[in-house]
Amino acid sequence: MGGGLSIHCVDVASGRVAAGLRVTVQRLGADGRPAGPLIADGGIGANGTLQHPALMSEAITAGGYEVCFAVGDFYRAQGHGGAGPGFLEVVPYRFHIADVSQHYHLPFKFTAWGFSLFRGGA
């Protein structure tokens, strides 16, 4: 697979993919902060990935990006953590794409208390 961006999410506390976890993708401006409209916004599907057409399109260009994972809402929707804020609420991940011919795969592995994010192989 050439180019584009893929996101795969696993709730390691349950040992299952994080179906329903809300994920947003936004470009970073020249100042390094999120800028402009969201590129993608959606829930993780039953296969553990964010299926959004923009992620494998010309919308993914060289530059900086921020992906946000709504961990607190995910656990509350499952009846965990009560009504208040969780230890982790929204986990932001900022990264840069230099070579648009390469595929950028972002595995997100998490619990209510911690997470791991990295560029994986796709």
Question: In the chain, what are the domain boundaries?
Answer: 5-115
The CATH number of the domain covering residues in 5-115: 2.60.40.180
Residue with tokens 């609420």: 89
Q: For residues 38 and 100, what is the distance between their CA atoms, to the nearest angstrom?
A: 19
Residue 80, pLDDT score: 81
Say what percent of the chain tops pLDDT 90. 86
Q: In this structure, are residues 23 and 68 in contact, taking their beta carbons and an 8 Å threshold?
A: yes
pLDDT class for 79, splitting at 50, 70, 90?
confident
Per-residue confidence at 1, pLDDT binned at 50, 70, 90?
A: very low
Let me know the angle formed at the C-alpha of 17 by 47 and 26, rounded to the nearest 5 degrees.
Answer: 80
pLDDT for the residue numbered 121: 76
